[in-house]
Amino acid sequence: MNTTPRTFVAVPADSHFPIRNLPYGVFRPIMGGPPRVGVAIGESVLDLAVLAEAGLLDGRYLSGVGVFRRASLNALMALGRPAWREARELVTRLLSADEPRLRDNQALRDAALVPQASVEMLLPAEVGDYTDFYSSREHATNVGVMFRGPDAALQPNWLHLPVGYHGRASSLVPGGVDVRRPCGQTRPDDGAPPLFGPSRQMDFELEIGAFIGPGNTLGEPIGIDRAEEHIFGLVLVNDWSARDIQKWEYVPLGPFLGKSFATSVSPWVVTLDALEPFRCAAPVQDPPPLPYLRTSGPQGIDLCLEVWLQGGRMAAPERITATNARHLYWSLAQQVAHHTVNGCNLRTGDLLASGTISGPTRESRGSLLELAWRGAEPFELPGGERRTFLEDGDRVTMTGWCQGDGFRVGFGELSARVLPAHQAVP
Ligand code: CA
């Protein structure tokens, strides 16, 4: 039976980081020092490198492996779920209110528990490959209606496989890094030649992403029943998109420069073990998928997601989207099984993003493309501002959390500002 663990660390009631969460990240003290792995607890970061070197993280899987004084989570991710569970148990015990080893050692506490405000969060993993799926039926339907009409909104393949494309890993950035409006080739007038210049239709996409733990050998697919053993944890993802560049370039090979200028990733990786109490039924799949994509047990995650927008002249951010990851039609396990069914090898640190997560209502649409319906329905913001797409100076902040009984298991914030384009070079 699960009992509620209590910690000696102060955790505000609305914190995303209670002792039940314990998400991993990579941080560097603002005052200097090498990057290392930490866990968020309340408004602090617990420095796992310090604890390991004090001999407090020894166990069957973790002793002597040296996975915490690192600039990425990859070494920890590669160890697999038994090691992750061991780390979670050890850290939970060290933070418990009735455990004195850290609680009563002031020098160790000073070294190991540092304010989040005093650190810089880095990209959590070294990402070899980034794949972006298209797993929200509502999003795919909205986009399909806009571009092809309601009778052909979903392409014939969509209900049979999780559609995806290969994204660009090199331009992944952690939250807090501002993103520059891209320049590129567009054709605003279908009857005229294409133009070059700053994108006029820059957008965000609200997504979640899964980091791969242990990979698979080339040629050996991951069966769907084992798929979640290969997922270390989840992050929020903002798949910035230049709709005008995308629209002109994507035929016939799919997204390219309209996506690859930047993709933002939230710094804290929430493990599947922390999310386990929030599993829920996913949408019913009709027609039933082929056997290699058939799952059992709850495939969804009851994860509230929001997007807040603050324009340069707005006094405060305004919530523009509230949705939930439970709407995703294709599950994490199905994405992993499909990605590898041809023998493609996933590697530790690979990122698999869900695709834009939209819900059934107007307020739950996960991109400006949908919220302003391709520019046809601009929406009003406080201070008299209107939006169809993002403007320079706009700050986009995404957040997400699972709501427990009196606590939250959350992802914190993923926030970045839109910088003006560099002077276009023809
Ligand atoms: Ca996307």
**DSSP-derived 3-state class of residue 236:** strand
139, 230, 338, 339: which is the annotated catalytic residue? 139
Distance CA 41, CA 38 (A): 10
Judging by DSSP bridges, how do beta strands 179-180 and 195-198 pair with one another? unpaired
The two tokens of residue 371 are 């919220």
Q: Could you tell me which residues are beta bridge partners of residue 11?
A: none
Rounded to the nearest angstrom, the distance between the alpha carbon of 310 and the centre of ligand 1 is: 22
The answer to whether the peptide bond before residue 289 is cis (omega within 30 degrees of 0) is no
309 shares its domain with 201: yes
- 145 burial via Cβ count (<10 Å: 0-12, 13-18, 19+): middle
Single out the residue of 299, 304, 327 nearest to residue 137, CA to CA. Answer: 327
Kindly tell me the sign of the dihedral angle through the C-alpha atoms of 367, 373, 374, 378.
negative
- How far is ligand 1, taken at its centre, from the CA of residue 117, in Å? 30
Q: Check if the beta carbon of residue 28 is closer than 8 Å to that of residue 122.
A: yes
Instruction: For residue 160, indicate whether it is catalytic.
Output: no
Rounded to the nearest angstrom, the gap between the alpha carbon of residue 402 and the centroid of all alpha carbons in its chain is 14
For residue 18, is it within any domain?
Answer: no
Angle subtended at Cα 175 by Cα 419 and Cα 379, rounded to the nearest 5 degrees: 55
Q: Where in the sequence is the domain holding 414, given as residue range(s)? A: 130-419
The amino acid present at 351, given as its one-letter code, is L
Q: Which residues of the chain have pLDDT under 70?
A: 1-3, 424-426
Q: Give the Å distance between the CA of 202 and the centre of ligand 1.
A: 13
Radius of gyration for the chain, computed over Cα atoms and rounded to the nearest angstrom = 22
Burial class (CB in 10 A: 0-12, 13-18, 19+), 375: middle
Diameter of the chain measured on Cα atoms = 74
36 and 172 assigned to the same domain: no
pLDDT computed for residue 1 by the predictor: 41
Report if residue 13 sits inside a domain: no
Same domain, 86 and 157: no
Final residue in a domain of this structure, among 69, 101, 121? 121
Residue 150 shares a structural domain with residue 116: no
Are 175 and 243 found together in one domain? yes
Residues 115 and 138 in one domain: no
Q: Domain count of the chain? A: 2
Neighbours of 326 (CB within 10 A): 21
Task: Give 160 Cα–ligand 1 centroid separation in angstroms.
Answer: 19
Residue 278 lies in a domain: yes
- Give whole-number Cα distances, 215 to 67, 129, 349, 359, in Å: 17, 12, 9, 32
Q: Where are the beta strands (DSSP E) in 164-274?
A: 164-166, 172-174, 179-180, 183-186, 195-198, 202-203, 206-212, 231-238, 241-242, 263-265, 270-271
Please tell me whether residues 145 and 227 are part of one structural domain: yes
> Do 199 and 306 belong to one domain?
yes
Q: 82 with 208, same domain? A: no
State in Å: Cα 355 to ligand 1 middle: 4
CA angle 29, 399, 311 (to 5 degrees): 95
User: Quick one: pLDDT at residue 127?
Assistant: 98
DSSP characters over 136-176: -HHHHHHHHHHHH-GGG-S-TTTTTS--EEE--STTEEETT
Pick the closest to residue 50 from 32, 36, 63 (CA basis): 36
pTM, two decimals, is 0.97
Note the pLDDT of residue 383: 84
Residue 59 and residue 148 in one domain: no
Domain end call among 65, 95, 121: 121
Which of 100, 346, 407 minimizes the C-alpha distance to 212? 346
Residue 426 lies in a domain: no
Cα gap 35→130, rounded to integer Å: 23
pLDDT of residue 425: 61
Neighbours of ion ligand 1 (CB under 5 A): 132, 205, 239
The type of residue at 81 is R
